[in-house]
Structure 1
Amino acid sequence: MAKLRAPGKPVRLAKGRVNAGVGAAYYERICLLIKRMHRDTLRTIQVHYRRAEPELAQDANPVTSLRDVLRKLRNKWSKLFNEQAEALAETFIKRGQNDAEGDLRRRLNRAGFGITFKPDADLKRKLSIATEQNVALIKSIGEQYQDRVQAVVTNTVTSGSNLGKLTTQLEASFGISTRRAAMIARDQSHKINQSVERERATGIGLKEAYWRHVGGGRHPREDHVKADGRRYFVAEGCKISGEYIQPGELINCHCRAEYIIPGYND
């Protein structure tokens, strides 16, 4: 692919954006799986806990009978998460790639450059790694939920609390899982977007960029804010707080690169 050159002076390529719909769709699909798991877990535990409540009133220990129930729930939902994680991750990564490439093409067209991206081995390898990482993240949501359920049930039985308190704590655990899914979807959307854009930009000869801070969180990184407008070499990353990093690389970083199209006089 030919390397881009602007007539005369270098040109700043307009800063891109992340399509929130890609992350939202990813979150919705993960959340649907979490909701199914939670409903099944809550219903099953409520039924068995009601049976165990007479034992609690007599200071007996119903943990043994509930332990088998929890083990079966964990096995069931671990299997379902494992079966669906890869398809969920692959769909998300592909949508993220298409969106990032489409956005970059549109900005290049507005700058006067018509570009068609071709298959790229390095990009394919990096997206494969990203898919594996997202599969692991999805699986971890189910695993951590089941860990919390185990702890909640054990603590409730040990303290002799009633079913109402147990249900409240299980609902809280569900909330933790959905919030984590939202964070993963949001964070990974930015990571995939910037990774694809960076690969495609460097593939057409864009070697330098400006770091652009993009807000979005209640607690922005002060050093990222200060780095806004800093010029850097894309291959090594922008030096911030003593280390070279890429936009979107750190968790919940929404910063972006503003690429520089070199001029013929460079």
Structure 2
Amino acid sequence: MLRVGIQYNVELQRIVRQVKKSIDKELIPAIKQVEYRYVADEAWPDRISNILNILKAIWSSREFDEKSKLIAGEFVSSTVKSVDKKNKAKSGIDAFGNSEQMNNYLAAATTQNANLIKSIPEQYLNNVANTVLTGMRNGVLAREIAKQLTDDYGVTQRRARFIARDQTAKVNGEIDKRRQVDAGFEYFQWLDSDDERVRHKHRLIADKKTKYGKGVYRWDDLPKNDKGETIQPGSDFGCRCTARAKTTASVEKYMKRSS
């Protein structure tokens, strides 16, 4: 994962831990208090549900909404800087401001990531509510429910990690494409991450000798994945591939040698 993605994951994992902390503080003690009154006390469902609703309200508040937007904005902004630094070093591309299309994309990417961030505590607490209420109705002891909540915590950690990794690849890939196209590059070379986790199809794309060169494609004539969908580096599910800008002169030189 790129450094930007690692930092993004750090922020998302911090949120996950904070949600867990609020669950441990507010919900677990309440479950233990009513543990032996599951059947006799008909009021426990309301009490537990009220606590769950309070937790959901905290993690869907305007304050958390603003925090999500801030984290998303910093992630997108850092990704732009990372791409521009890489393109300057490897392709000599200088970015002088953003086009209207780029600004629109950055705004959309920020909104999408803010929504993904907000969905982390939302899905986590929905899973917790299902685990707790189902367990209590079935007479499951509090310590067993706590063990099940550990599983919910792990699921949420992994989902947050995937969001960071997947969005880093997607946003990085799209910004890279737009920077290259805006700079006048019509062609790019598809580079896979050169390890055992590379999809077979993506390796084939990177190794294919097209009429433009090995793994070289036009931005307006992209390859397709196994589902027949047009893809670019970073756009496919969990893709870690990247695009190296290729000049028209280098492509024309290759085509002339190959003819």
Shorter-chain TM-score bucket reads 0.7 to 0.9
Where 1:259 maps in the other structure, the secondary structure is strand
1:79-101 deviation per Cα after TM superposition (whole angstroms, max 9, x unaligned):
15323110000000000000111
Where 1:78 maps in the other structure, the secondary structure is coil
Q: 1: distance between equivalents of 2:243 and 2:95?
A: 21
Residue 11 of structure 1 is matched in structure 2 by none
Residue 29 of structure 2 is matched in structure 1 by 47
Larger helix share, 1 or 2: 2
Q: 2: distance between equivalents of 1:53 and 1:239?
A: 55
Q: 1: distance between equivalents of 2:145 and 2:8?
A: 30
Q: 2: distance between equivalents of 1:90 and 1:258?
A: 26
> Are 2:245 and 1:256 equivalent residues in the alignment?
no
Contact preservation (8 Å) 1:211, 1:238 = no
Q: 1: distance between equivalents of 2:150 and 2:42?
A: 26
Residue 227 of structure 1 is matched in structure 2 by 205
Contact preservation (8 Å) 1:70, 1:150 = yes
The alpha carbon displacement at 1:221 in A equals 2.4
Residue identity (%): 25
Consecutive unaligned residues of structure 2, counting only runs of 5 or more, are 208-214, 253-259
TM-score by length of 2: 0.86
Query: Runs of 4 or more off by more than 6 Å in structure 1?
Result: none
Residue 257 of structure 2 is matched in structure 1 by none
The alpha carbon displacement at 1:146 in A equals 0.9
Residue 73 of structure 1 is matched in structure 2 by 55
Contact preservation (8 Å) 1:216, 1:254 = no
Contact preservation (8 Å) 1:81, 1:138 = no
1:33-55 deviation per Cα after TM superposition (whole angstroms, max 9, x unaligned):
22111111122112211221231
Larger displacement relative to structure 2 (126-135 or 170-179): 170-179
The alpha carbon displacement at 1:236 in A equals 3.4
The alpha carbon displacement at 1:29 in A equals 1.2
> Are 2:140 and 1:161 equivalent residues in the alignment?
yes
Task: Choose from 190, 193, 196 the match for 2:169.
Answer: 190
The alpha carbon displacement at 1:265 in A equals 9.6
Task: Choose from 65, 72, 89 the match for 1:82.
Answer: 65
Task: Choose from 55, 62, 84 the match for 1:101.
Answer: 84
CA distance 1:132–1:45, change in 2 (3 Å): same
Q: 2: distance between equivalents of 1:128 and 1:81?
A: 19
CA distance 1:141–1:248, change in 2 (3 Å): same
Q: 2: distance between equivalents of 1:42 and 1:217?
A: 39
Q: 1: distance between equivalents of 2:242 and 2:205?
A: 11
Opposite residue 23 of structure 1, the aligned amino acid is G
Task: Choose from 39, 57, 62 the match for 2:44.
Answer: 62
Contact preservation (8 Å) 2:128, 2:152 = yes
Higher relative contact order (CA 8 A, sep 6+): 1
Q: 1: distance between equivalents of 2:76 and 2:59?
A: 23
The alpha carbon displacement at 1:231 in A equals 2.7
Q: 1: distance between equivalents of 2:251 and 2:45?
A: 76
Q: 1: distance between equivalents of 2:250 and 2:91?
A: 17
Matched residue count: 243
CA distance 1:164–1:245, change in 2 (3 Å): same
Residue 23 of structure 1 is matched in structure 2 by 5
Residue 256 of structure 2 is matched in structure 1 by none
Opposite residue 133 of structure 2, the aligned amino acid is T
Contact preservation (8 Å) 1:62, 1:157 = no
Opposite residue 25 of structure 2, the aligned amino acid is R
Consecutive unaligned residues of structure 1, counting only runs of 5 or more, are 1-17
> What root-mean-square deviation, in Å, do the aligned CA atoms of Structure 1 and Structure 2 show?
2.1
Residue 150 of structure 1 is matched in structure 2 by 129
Q: 2: distance between equivalents of 1:21 and 1:265?
A: 32
The alpha carbon displacement at 1:63 in A equals 1.4
